[in-house]
A and B are shown apart, each in its own frame.
Chain A
Amino acid sequence: MASDSITGGAAQGRLWDRFSIKTKRVIWAWTFLALPILFYAGIRFYPTLQAFWLSLTDWDLLRPANFIGLANYQKMFADPVFWKVFQNTFLYLVIGTPVSLVLSFVIAFYLDRVRFMHGFIRALYFLPFLTTAAAMGWVWRWFYQPVPIGVINGLLGSLGIEQQPFLRSTVQALPTVLVPAIWAGLGFQIIIFMAGLRAIPSTFYEAARIDGLGEWAILRKITIPLLKPTTVFLVVFSSIGFLRIFDQVYNMTTNDPGGPLNATKPLVLMIYQTAFSSYQMGYAAAQTVVLFSILLAVSLFQLWIMREKK
């Protein structure tokens, strides 16, 4: 056994010995890195490229795909529903991200100072994050019902305020769907913000107080600037989340998915319907390519905006 490896590895051994330690390290590093790279290439990059190719075909699952050039994109850009959905997707982003970040920062900032039942309150905020989006969607859907069963409308009614249509309104439906989505993500963002707040050395605050800085100035000059890495992470993370919103929308509008009149339909839901209700896989792939481009552009743009100024 031992002699085998010595004789068998003699020729290789000589070659291997000629490498410097540095080269050997590089070879080892690449050998280990090759595994995840191959894995990623196989299950991530290959399907992504395949989707780009599919978007140029008329594949419908049943018949072989034919190359049709950019016809899917032409159809998409000429479709008013696509632009409505495009607009909805950005509304989810531009309302959802700032609102959820401001809310979670304010809560984290004050929760950080609370000592009484701190763990319990934090757990309460985190709980919705652990709940299944589908179950939550259904509960909220019932909250929003008209009287006699809708809790919110029941409350409004007892206060003498007019009933609101919520999910049955083309104007209110999107914010209505967004509320549980923001609420569900809040717990996670609070935890991350609190970790960020704890990471700021307390000596900074002590020094600032000795110098006579007010609370507001401390917040503006110390807390917010030093939280920047946390904020960048959360902005990117929650933007991607809102751009990919699906569960809440689908579960709160199952009778008329993305309705009424496409008022709540995000891009992901449109892709889902195109692919799995209409079986237009090529067209769905074209929509996916658009979503991919948006996600990429938004992420890169945010990283560029929030980059370290040197």
Chain B
Amino acid sequence: MRNKAKLAGLAAGISFLALGSAQAVEIEYWQYVFDTRVQAMDQLIEKFEAANPDITVKQVTFPYADYQTRVVAAKVAGQGPDVVQLFYGWLDNFVNGELIQPLDPAVFPSAEIEADFFPIVSAMKRGDAYYGLPTAVRSLALFYNKALFTEAGLDPNNPPQNLVDFLAAAEATTKRDGGGNITSAGITLDMAGQDHHWWREVLIRQNGGVPYDEAGNVAYNDAAGAAALKYYTDLQTASKVGQVGFMDEGQAAFRAGLAAMTIDGTFRLGAFADNPFEWGVTELPADANGLRSNYSSYFANAIGSGAQGEELEAAQKFLAYITSPEAMEIWLNVVGELPARRDVALTEANLADPIRAPFLKGLEYAHTTKFYDEAGQRQVAIDMVNRVLLEGQSIEDSLAAAATAEQAIIDAATK
């Protein structure tokens, strides 16, 4: 049966070559399962196929937990995707594993990319070559529950803008039972969620440090890193306005209306849309000097290393389309993620939108961590906080241990 199919394919190929006419090319697009992303991609494929009747695009999806394994396994089996979605932090793994190929600068000129996209796209550049382009980018913001704010006597239209007001708001909105246990948190504490980015790229910088030096090595094992970690763990140990593990996950606590504030990303907008209470979004709090920072990330689209000849051509066309302004508009409306091109993102309408504006402003001053092993580096941050909260280790010792562990991951990846 397989052989017959192969023969048929071969015959079709030969006849195609002989005729030299444009016959349908099928390319595969891979991404992980996330309802709105799949829907948005279905719409994009439909529009793309209408404009390019000689190309069909097949969307293949896998659960997020399996996604990387599937891509790697498919490469081993020689059946990789033509266009593939990847988190920017996976790039080194994907490049080293020869899963993807660099973009042809004749089709995607570097100068144009750098002029049109937000500067964080440079995380997809290795040497002189870009390896992928995002459709949308993400940033963080502070979500707050307006009902809980009103209940606590705070102005629901004037959310905290700096760390002092932020802590005061958290204290005002925290509810406790007779035994002193939190029954509704002021702020969610969830290092496994987005908090490790907040600590790494925002709190450390606001305390006068940098998370990594120019060479990409750990640089937070100093007073700034310690102050940032202390600020974070004090939220649970000193001011008791949050508790790691409360309601299992930060986003679950917020959705259940049992947390007044949570730090999360644009990708959460869809999930929070039908929260049964009024909520708002504001920029991440600034420090006493007004310094703000943010963490931005994205999933990029790259061309699989297996795509050659006319499949490569089709893949390039498709990649160009899904990173076009039109595609970004669709993505913004369906998924809620921010367009990766500056002029599509920073429109007057978007900047006036109370939900989109804080994220867009965040993009202006955002940093993008260069991850080598995103899951491993996140685990280091989770363990660092747990050592302080659960084992009573000192801030300095826990920070030093985290720095050593994370540097070991970086060394292993760059050797």
Residues of A within 8 A of B (CB): 61-63, 141-142, 145-149, 157, 162-163, 165, 167-170, 255-256, 259-261, 276-279
- Does any Cβ of A come within 8 Å of B162's Cβ? no
Q: Is B72 an interface residue (CB 8 A)?
A: yes
With A62-B98, A261-B383 as contacts: A149 and B69 at CB distance below 8 Å: no
Q: Report, nearest first, the 7 A-B pairs whose CB atoms are least far apart.
A: A62-B97, A255-B192, A168-B245, A260-B386, A148-B183, A61-B72, A147-B181
Is there a chain A Cβ closer than 8 Å to B212's Cβ? Answer: no
Complex: how many Å from CA A62 to CA B93? 9
Q: Could you tell me the distance in whole angstroms from the C-beta of A206 to the nearest C-beta in chain B?
A: 56
Among the stretches B200-208, B220-228, B374-382, the one at the interface with A is: B374-382
Residue B125, interface by CB 8 Å: no
Q: Kindly state whether residue B288 has any CB partner on chain A within 8 Å.
A: no
Whether the pair A146, B181 counts as a contact (CB closer than 8 A) is yes
Q: Are B382 and A259 in contact (CB under 8 A)?
A: yes
Q: Which of B99, B181, B248, B387 contacts A261 (CB under 8 A)?
A: B387
Q: Are B177 and A147 in contact, with the CB atoms below 8 A?
A: yes
Identify the closest chain A residue to B180 (Cβ). Answer: A163
| Least distance between A76 CB and chain B CB atoms (Å) | 15
CB distance from A191 to the nearest CB of B (A): 34
Name the residue in B69, B75, B190, B248 with the highest tally of chain A Cβ atoms < 10 Å from its Cβ. B248
Complex: chain B residue closest to A275, CB-CB: B69
User: Whole-angstrom distance between the alpha carbons of A268 and B98 in the complex?
Assistant: 29
Count B interface residues, CB 8 Å: 36
Are A157 and B181 also in contact (CB < 8 A) when A148-B258, A167-B245, A261-B383 are? yes
A260 CA to B386 CA, complexed, in Å: 7
> Could you tell me which residues of chain B, from 371 to 415, have a CB within 8 Å of some CB in chain A?
373, 375-376, 379, 382-383, 386-387, 390-391
Collect the chain A residues with CB atoms within 8 Å of residue B21's CB.
Answer: none
Within 80-95 of B, Cβ neighbours of A (below 8 Å) are at 93
Cβ-based interface call for B247 (8 A): yes
A163 touches B387 (CB 8 A): no
0 or 1 for each of B274-298: is its CB under 8 Å from A? (1 = yes) = 0000000000000000000000000
Instruction: Verify A163–B181 contact, CB threshold 8 A.
Output: yes
- Chain B hits for A277, CB < 8 A: 375-376
A260–B383 alpha-carbon span in the complex (Å)? 7
- B contact residues around A142 at 8 Å (CB): 248
A62 to B95, CA, bound (A): 11
Given A163-B179, A170-B391, A279-B93, 5 other A-B residues pairs in contact with their CB atoms under 8 A? A62-B72, A157-B181, A163-B181, A168-B244, A170-B390
Which chain A residues lie closer than 8 Å to B244 at the CB level? 168
Q: Closest B-chain residue to A148, C-beta based?
A: B183
- Residue B76 at the chain A interface, CB threshold 8 Å: yes
Q: How far is the CA of A261 from the CA of B383 in the complex (A)?
A: 6
A223 to B379 CA separation, bound complex (whole angstroms): 51
Check A146–B177 contact: CB distance below 8 A.
no
